[in-house]
Structure 1
């Protein structure tokens, strides 16, 4: 009887370890994404978005590459939409912070600086120009 109990416990331990490793891999791949590279728009290629698509007191993600914010009417800022902690896409934008859904890092909507970690590096900043209601985002 003792042998059977040991065999069952060892089997359960092995299965549990595989499940933990498997879920860790799934979480890592869901939260990771390649950093923007010069070939996909972050190094100087432009992106355009209608100014009306960026809500006042919030922001929006453009082309899975940029997050454009408008904390106050007519004030636009653009940053990389890739969190500097582990490469997740930031999604939530309020008047004063951009939040990463994976580990809750928060960044300033006006500077991209880290407000709360675990991220330690700011979001890359891009220039934004407004021409007749169309915002153009370009690399700095």
Structure 2
């Protein structure tokens, strides 16, 4: 193999590697279909209408992540106020990992979201978590 051919092969391989790395760290608009590890606080859940949790299961200033039934994170930003958002990070579609101190965290790339309204509090995500509707019946929390 000549030097020119070897250089062309190596340059091509380097280009493919760089393209692969860049694709893995794309922007919010990309849809790779991959998901990350649910991590701390993630549990099973239920489809729309089925019970997810009781009010006592959701800590004030925190929340709980449910990976079944489409993926939802239920938060209690202030006492007695319950919110629900998609548990899929808008940056690279990883499952968010935990809810602490009023913030929803995604450990894949460090994005954080407000537990009160799902808005981005730290990127790389640029879009907030979509809100989901809850149905609260007595002490039971379910997706509407």
Deviation at 1:72, TM superposition (A): 2.1
**Unmatched 5+ stretches in structure 1:** 1-18, 34-39
Counterpart check, 1:119 vs 2:125: yes
**Unmatched 5+ stretches in structure 2:** 1-16, 26-31, 38-45
2:137 corresponds to which residue?
131
Deviation at 1:71, TM superposition (A): 2.1
CA distance in 1, matches of 2:35, 2:141: 28
> Pairwise CA RMSD of aligned residues?
3.1
Alignment size in residue pairs: 125
CA distance in 1, matches of 2:139, 2:120: 30
Against the structure 1 CA distance between its residues 56 and 30, is the aligned structure 2 distance closer, same or farther, given a 3 Å change threshold? same
> 3-state DSSP class of the match of 2:78?
coil
Choose from 46, 60, 63 the match for 2:64.
60
- More helix by proportion, 1 or 2? 1
2:76 corresponds to which residue?
70
Larger radius of gyration: 1
- How does the TM-score come out when normalised to structure 1? 0.66
Against the structure 1 CA distance between its residues 122 and 53, is the aligned structure 2 distance closer, same or farther, given a 3 Å change threshold? same
Asked whether the equivalents of residues 97 and 108 of structure 1 are also in contact (C-alpha less than 8 Å), the reply is yes
